Amino acid sequence: MILTVTPNPSLDRTYEVPALDRGEVLRATAERMDPGGKGVNVSRALAAAGHRTVAIVPLGGAPGALVAELLTGQGIEVAPVPVKGSTRSNIALAEPDGTLTKINAPGPELSASEAESLLAAVSAVASAAAASAVSAIAARSASAAWIACCGSLPRGLAPEWYAKLVTRAHAAGARVALDTSGPSLLAALRSRPDVVKPNADELAQAVGRPLATVGDAVKAAEELRGLGAGAVLASLGADGQLLVSSAGTFYGHARVTAVRSNVGAGDASLAGFLAAGGGGPEALSAAVAHGAAAVQLPGSVMPKPADLDSSAVTVTADIPLDRVLTEQGSPR
């Protein structure tokens, strides 16, 4: 079982419109509502692939209740942490040519007690999951339990909050995959997360310099390992993915027929990586397959097993160091 933590979840409403005309009344041709947030998307991808997952989320108000209902409807177990403020609602306007205009709300400001309650929930759920696995004579499964901690931090949570979460998760016997950026990522490295998953821009920001080639990305990932990351799973967009760990450095990419949407593709990749064990070239191959499948699906739809094409994936230890990145990482 894989747990996910999303400190700032959302209720995402998407409206399809013929055109985005400022100052006009727009009539949507279709609409949909989804639970949102990076950790939530990881749980959605795991559930779509048939894996058991628990989403730990701070929820408040009517939007929070809807998020819980939508997650449950997708076969995801929910461990809600009640908060006083209302869960944020995000709006997306989708045009026929694929242009997506998003309005993301800031979300509630968590109090000190709510921040502590969220940490306590992570410890409790992780400990319960490990105990359940041991009672089922699955000690190996217990030792391989993962917690995916994903997304930006809401107001009220200091950058060091993720570092505290990593420490508590390790104390509960779980391994941690961290997908965040900026000060939160750098602060958490001191607590030695088992895997961090930056994209090219986030990797560049972490080391404070632009990344022009795959070789630049490898060097940056090695620096993050030097700062405390056990492994680095770096998403390089259309240029593939890198896995840099104590077991070696591997590069993976996939043949993609057509890109329909890259929303949630990185989250799907992390789900595939963790579901495949969270380490080594086999896990990287699964990550690349999940990401490639996700970009060929509409919106934030997560791939099912039938959508995966492992034959389109190549993973190698022969790294194309001089390959120029199509989407060059910039330290924003």
The DSSP string of 291-327 is HHHHHTSSTTPPPPGGG--GGGEEEESS--TTPEEEE
Task: Check whether residue 213 and residue 88 sit in a common domain.
Answer: no
Task: Check whether residue 143 and residue 274 sit in a common domain.
Answer: no
Q: Are 326 and 207 in contact (CB under 8 A)?
A: no
Task: Check whether residue 136 and residue 257 sit in a common domain.
Answer: no
* pLDDT number for residue 99: 83
* pLDDT number for residue 236: 94
d(CA 117, CA 224): 30
Task: Check whether residue 176 and residue 112 sit in a common domain.
Answer: yes
Domain boundary among 193, 221, 245: 193
Task: Check whether residue 141 and residue 32 sit in a common domain.
Answer: yes
What tens digit of pLDDT does each residue of 67-124 get? 999 999 999 999 999 999 999 999 989 888 878 899 999 999 999 999 999 999 999 9
161 Cα distance to chain centroid: 17
Task: Check whether residue 240 and residue 330 sit in a common domain.
Answer: yes
What is the CATH number for 49? 3.40.1190.20
The residue among 106, 229, 207, 105 whose CA lies nearest residue 157 is 106
Question: For 241, which DSSP code?
Answer: E
What tens digit of pLDDT does each residue of 190-207 get? 999 999 999 999 999 999
Task: Check whether residue 88 and residue 182 sit in a common domain.
Answer: yes
* pLDDT number for residue 223: 98
The residue among 286, 207, 208, 301 whose CA lies nearest residue 243 is 286
d(CA 181, CA 107): 18
178 — phi, psi (to 5°)? -115, 125
Give the tokens for residue 31. 């609409």
* pLDDT number for residue 29: 93
Decide: pTM greater than 0.75. yes
Q: How many CA atoms lie within 13 A of 92 on its CB side?
A: 19
Say which of 12, 201, 216, 267 is annotated catalytic. 267
Task: Check whether residue 248 and residue 172 sit in a common domain.
Answer: no
User: What are the strands, taking DSSP E only, across the chain?
Assistant: 2-5, 10-16, 30-36, 53-59, 77-82, 88-94, 100-103, 146-150, 175-179, 195-196, 211-213, 232-235, 241-245, 248-254, 313-316, 324-329
* pLDDT number for residue 332: 67
Give the tokens for residue 122. 């992570």
* pLDDT number for residue 103: 94
Task: Check whether residue 223 and residue 167 sit in a common domain.
Answer: no
What is the per-residue DSSP string for 161-214?
HHHHHHHHHHHTT-EEEEE--HHHHHHHHTT--SEE--BHHHHHHHHTS-EEEH
* pLDDT number for residue 327: 79
* pLDDT number for residue 132: 66
Tell me which residue range forms the domain holding 256: 197-332
Domain boundary among 169, 193, 217: 193
Task: Check whether residue 240 and residue 258 sit in a common domain.
Answer: yes
Domain boundary among 193, 208, 230: 193
267 is catalytic: yes
**Overall domain count for the chain:** 2
Task: Check whether residue 160 and residue 255 sit in a common domain.
Answer: no
Low-confidence ranges of the chain (pLDDT < 70): 132-144, 332
Task: Check whether residue 189 and residue 205 sit in a common domain.
Answer: no
Give the tokens for residue 320. 């194309």
* pLDDT number for residue 235: 95
